[in-house]
């Protein structure tokens, strides 16, 4: 499924015309036209997956590391995951057993997952993308209309996620030995 498909949010109404307290979230579907994937409150700020990818790419760009590679792009119609890694930030667990630093973002169109960006370590032997809240930071974006200052939010996310990333990866490699 295309993670960057068109989405729309529309108010819901009952049979007698009364406006519901929820909004329908629908994605464009090549076969059926539109498919409803969730109901959210009217003040829920739905963030398109393309915007989430842009934010992660902006954080990566601010890092001045130029070898970021896409590792995961997942979308099931409701939930989205985008992950990139850098070979320039690595740590060795033992000779030949390496982990590398990555950025990962989560989003949902149905309200089941908060929009967040975080750091993670990818174990190169098995590429399972181990994560640890103790060693890697995560920044959560608020899903409401008053929080649309993307430049400011992206800057805060960069500071939160990238601060001390090389040292955090080295410390994480040390506990995996």
Nearest to 40 by CA among 107, 116, 106: 107
Listed by start position, the domains of the chain span 7-40, 49-176
Max Cα-Cα span within the chain: 70
Given a contact cutoff of 8 angstroms between Cβ atoms, the answer to whether 52 and 80 are in contact is yes
* β-strands 97-108, 138-140 pairing: unpaired
| pLDDT of 88 over the 60 cut | yes
Residue in 147, 105, 131, 112 with CA at minimum distance from that of residue 39 = 112
Query: What is the pLDDT at residue 132?
Result: 66
pLDDT at 145 over 60: no
pLDDT at 99: 87
Q: Which residue has the higher pLDDT, 93 or 141?
A: 93
Q: Please give the average per-residue pLDDT across 1-23, as a whole number.
A: 92
pTM of the predicted model as reported, rounded to 2 decimal places? 0.85
* Tens of pLDDT, residues 96-144: 888 888 999 999 999 888 888 988 888 877 766 666 666 788 888 765 5
| Residue range 148-177, pLDDT digits in tens | 676 777 777 888 888 888 888 888 888 887
Task: Report helix, strand or coil for 18.
Answer: coil
Higher pLDDT, 128 or 90: 90
pLDDT at 161: 80
Tens digits of residue pLDDT in 32-60: 889 999 999 887 888 899 999 998 998 89
User: Residues of the chain with pLDDT > 70: what percent?
Assistant: 90
């Amino acid at each position: 499924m295309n993670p960057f498909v068109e989405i729309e949010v529309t108010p819901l109404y009952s049979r007698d015309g009364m406006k519901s307290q929820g909004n329908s979230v629908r994605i464009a579907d090549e076969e059926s036209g539109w498919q409803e994937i969730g109901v959210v409150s009217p003040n829920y700020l739905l963030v398109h997956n393309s915007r989430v990818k842009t934010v992660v790419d902006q954080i990566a760009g601010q890092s001045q590391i130029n070898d970021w590679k896409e590792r995961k792009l997942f979308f099931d119609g409701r939930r989205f995951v985008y992950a990139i890694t850098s070979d320039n930030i690595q740590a060795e667990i033992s000779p030949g057993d390496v982990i590398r630093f990555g950025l990962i973002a989560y989003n949902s169109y149905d309200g089941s997952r908060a929009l967040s960006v975080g750091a993670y370590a990818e174990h190169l032997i098995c590429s399972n993308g181990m994560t640890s809240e103790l060693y890697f930071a995560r920044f959560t974006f608020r899903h409401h209309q008053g929080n649309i200052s993307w430049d400011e939010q992206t800057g805060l996310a960069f500071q939160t996620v990238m601060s001390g990333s090389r040292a955090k990866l080295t410390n994480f490699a040390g506990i995996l030995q």
